[in-house]
Each structure stands twice: as C-alpha cells, then as structure tokens.
Chain A
Amino acid sequence: MQKHINLLLEAVRSMLRNRGRSGVVLLCLLGVLLPFITAMAVAQGVRYQSLFSVNGGADLYITREQYGRNGPVSLEIIQKVASLPGVTRVVPRIVGRAYLGEELVVVVGIDDTRLLPGSNFAAPGSGEALIGQTLARRLGLSEGSEFHFGLFPALPFSVIQLLAPTLSLWSASMIVINFHDAEQLFKRPGYASELLVYCRPGTADGIAERLSSVGKPWEMLPPLRIQTKKIVQHYVGRGFDIQSGVFTMLYVTAFGLAIPALLILSGFGRGVRRREIGILKATGWQTLDVLEITFIENFFLALTGSALAVFLSIIWLKAGNGIGIAPLFISGSGWIPDFPVPARFLPMPALFSFLFGLSLTMVGTLIPTWRAAVTPPLTTMN
C-alpha cells in the first residue's frame, strides 16, 4: 500500500515537473471535451424539462385519424368519453400555429376552469391571452396590450399576463387563449385538435381499449387515435436516448482522430520522458511501476481536464446562457437565447466526459510508455 501511495505522490510530482506537457494535454482535452459536455448537458436538460410536460399532461390524448395523421376531433364525443368508467375529466384543447406579425407562434386554446392551488396564473377568459415573455418582448407587447392575429383580425386579444421563460422551454413562443376563442381563430367551431382525458390510476389502458372499439368499420367516420402516457414516455426515452447516442457515437468517431494528435502532442517533451523512464529503470523501477505511475498521471489529467471542461461548460451555459451554441441544439433559439437554456451535468455528461478523457490520455501515452519501459535503459537514456 505504501508503495502505491509513493507512486501516486511521484506521479503528482512528475505532472508538476513537466508543466508544459501537462498543460498541452489539458488544453487538448478541454478542446475535445467542452463541446461534448455542453451538448450532452443540454440534451439532458431538455429531456428533464420534457418530463414536466409528460407528467403534467393528460393520461390519454385522443384525436381523429386523418390521412394517416392526427386530425381534429369533434366535441360531440366528449360526453361518450366522459361516461366511461375510470374517466375523471375530459378537456378539449386546440394547439395550432399562427403568425402574429412576422412571428410564427404556437397558439394553445384551453378551457380549464380548475383552480390550480399555488399557481401564479389561471386559464384565460374570452378575449384574454397569456403570452411568453420573450415573444412579448420581440413584439413590443406588455400586460394590458391588445393584439390580433392576421388569421382572424376581427378577434382582439388583451394580454393579461406574461409567461416567465423559466416556466417552460416551450413557453418562449407560446400564446395561451381561451378554447372558444381558438375555435373561432382557427375557424373550426365544434372541433378540438385533441381531447385530454384524465382518469383514475391504473385505468388508462382499459379506457384506451374501450375507446379503440368505438365506432363501426362501415361508418364514414375516421377512427380515433389514442396515445397513452406510456406511449408518450416511450417517445421521450427513445427520442433522446437514440439521438444523443448517435451524437456520442459520431463525436467519439470524429475525435478518435484526436488520439494521434494527442500522441504527437504528448511527444512534446517525449525525449525528456524517455530519458526519465530510462533513469527510473536503471535505478531499479519495474515496468509495472512505470506503467502505474503513467496511469496515475493520466487519471489525474483526465480528472482535471474533465472537471475543468464541466466547469467551463457550466459557465458557458449558466452565466453565458449558451451564447453561440444554443441554436445548434435548440431549434428556434437565437445566438443569444432569451430563455434559460436547460442543462444537466450529472450523472451521464460528467461521467462520459471523464471516461472519454481517460480513454484519450491512456491510448495516447500508455503504449509509448510501455515501449520505453521495455527498452534497455542505456538506449532510452541516450
């Protein structure tokens, strides 16, 4: 045990003695790891925000099939759905998009009369609108301002509240209006884009089965499309896991080329390194001892490099709010985002960054070290 502690101390001394080489390796690691960690952190942050959307949403989403896609559903079936055992509430919702001036915005029509205890906002009444703060700033709107959509100019709206950017990533370009106003705006009275069904725990699958058999095949009415919360959770799982996995794979492949670069750069001071190894071998060090000290050095370099990369990434995403990098990961964001860019660094981004850094440093130095260690000391010291 004492031997290993001595080797650890010697590794630290060696790193401090060869400051130039250690510094160059750290800079290379930072260059490789910083964009990687930032991308992974934003991916985890958006995924985490999406969980609020999944958990705060309905148990079932019902639409009509229309040419193989989701289509509007008539409000007439609300009574039929609400009468099913297990259903506690059915809420119609309209989600569409419209131009407000030059801005393309998401319009949400909701008619939820529930009082949400402890919330700072309530569903808008007729002629009222909740508008995302960043959108309002771009359009020059504030609380009390009036506006109308080009889609239906005769329908005026008054801003009753601005939605803080911290509420949700997706509220940045969102306008929430009353459901009946949305019916008029999109000119489909009596229809909703989907029905939100809330039911008692454990009954969602049974209700979905019963709804699947609503309607007869010979009726000239498209079938219902039903999405359960379980399916939605699959969306989130696969949509983020596969995509960030593909990104990681491409990044690792691309930066596999960084290994030769690190090999060359770690050769910076290579002559000195070989002579050091030769001296160590000549004074009685074993090959395994030399490899162990190299491993410890690389471990500390990888740990320091990945920790610094995580720290700089935090500064970039938190203090700088992802300037310059947010639009690469979040579509619709400007170069200077006007909403807090979501990011999470634990556990996977930080862990992957450390493992990636460790792999790069190990591959770059262990083999040359081994080759130097098995060469007769007289040769390596010359």
Chain B
Amino acid sequence: MLAGIICIIFAVIHHDMQMSPLMDQPQKIRFQQLIGGLGLGAVLVPTWNFCDYDPRLQSDPGDILYPIPAGYPYSPDRLAMVSNFTEQGIRW
C-alpha cells in the first residue's frame, strides 16, 4: 500500500512537471506574445460577455446593466466554479 502511494505521488509530480515552464512552454509564450496576451477566464468563447473571457477586453460584465440595471447577472459564466472576474481599478 505504501509503495502504491509513493508511485501515485511520483505520478502526480511527473504530471505537474510536464506543465512546468521548463518543458514545451516556449510555444505557448510565443503565441501569447503574438496575439498580445488574450484569454484569462475559464471560458472558450465570449458568448455572453467579454469580461469572463478576458477582463482586459471588458472590465465589467455587461449583463448586470441590461435588461435590468444592477439586476441578476444572466450570464451562466458568472456562476463558474473556476474563475469569476469583478471590475478592478482602471486608470482614466
């Protein structure tokens, strides 16, 4: 049982190391450099708003303004378990 646990732990470490900056990440960085950094949230397509996809594009979720201002956020992405962006301070 102990050997099994140790093997599992090594499998986890190996899995996470595959995502480390040392391995196969230059292409990811270069792609993001090409497009100027795009994509932050756990959303593949900004169907409801750009805020949950990348708050740099839209810092506030538009669905709280329409149809009922300050009302319920209709976007299902707002209920995401993984990421949810609120408006941060932006300079004017």
A247 interface residue, CB < 8 Å from B? yes
Which of B9, B46, B82 touches A329 (beta carbons < 8 Å)? B82
CB contacts under 8 Å to A, within B66-92, are: 76-77, 80-86, 88-92
Which A residues are CB-close (under 8 A) to B39? 49-50, 53, 168-170
CB contacts under 8 Å to B, within A15-58, are: 39, 42-43, 45-50, 52-58
Which of B24, B81, B85 touches A43 (beta carbons < 8 Å)? B81
Which A residues are CB-close (under 8 A) to B88? 231, 234-235, 238
Contact A48–B36 (Cβ < 8 Å): no
B22 interface residue, CB < 8 Å from A? no
0/1 interface trace, chain B 31-74, chain A, CB 8 Å (1 if under): 11111111111111111001011111111101000000000000
Q: How many residues of B contact A (CB 8 A)?
A: 60
Which B residues are CB-close (under 8 A) to A112? 34, 36
- Give complex CA distance A58, B33 in Å: 8
Q: A243-B82, A310-B8 are in contact. Are A176 and B35 (CB under 8 A)?
A: yes
What DSSP secondary structure best describes chain B's contact surface?
Answer: loop
Contact B82–A227 (Cβ < 8 Å): no
Contact B40–A236 (Cβ < 8 Å): yes
Contact A46–B12 (Cβ < 8 Å): no
> Could you say which of A76-84, A90-98, A264-272, A285-293 contacts chain B?
A90-98
A359 interface residue, CB < 8 Å from B? no
Which of A46, A70, A196, A238 touches B36 (beta carbons < 8 Å)? A196
Contact A54–B91 (Cβ < 8 Å): no
Closest to A97 in B: B46
Contact B91–A46 (Cβ < 8 Å): no
Which A residues are CB-close (under 8 A) to B92? 65, 212, 223-226
Which A residues are CB-close (under 8 A) to B62? 69
Contact A97–B45 (Cβ < 8 Å): yes
- Give complex CA distance A93, B57 in Å: 11
Which A residues are CB-close (under 8 A) to B42? 42-43, 46, 329-331
- How many Å from the CB of B19 to the closest CB on chain A? 6
CB contacts under 8 Å to B, within A237-255, are: 238-240, 242-244, 247
Closest to B41 in A: A239
Residue numbers of B with Cβ under 8 A of A are: 1, 4-5, 8-9, 11-13, 15-16, 19, 24-47, 50, 52-60, 62, 76-77, 80-86, 88-92
**Pairs A–B under 8 Å by Cβ, sample size 23:** A39-B81, A46-B41, A55-B29, A56-B30, A57-B37, A57-B56, A58-B37, A95-B57, A116-B30, A123-B34, A166-B27, A170-B38, A170-B44, A173-B44, A209-B91, A225-B90, A226-B91, A235-B85, A239-B40, A239-B84, A330-B42, A331-B45, A344-B16
State the 5 A-B residue pairs at the shortest beta-carbon distance, nearest first: A57-B37, A56-B32, A170-B39, A332-B44, A119-B30
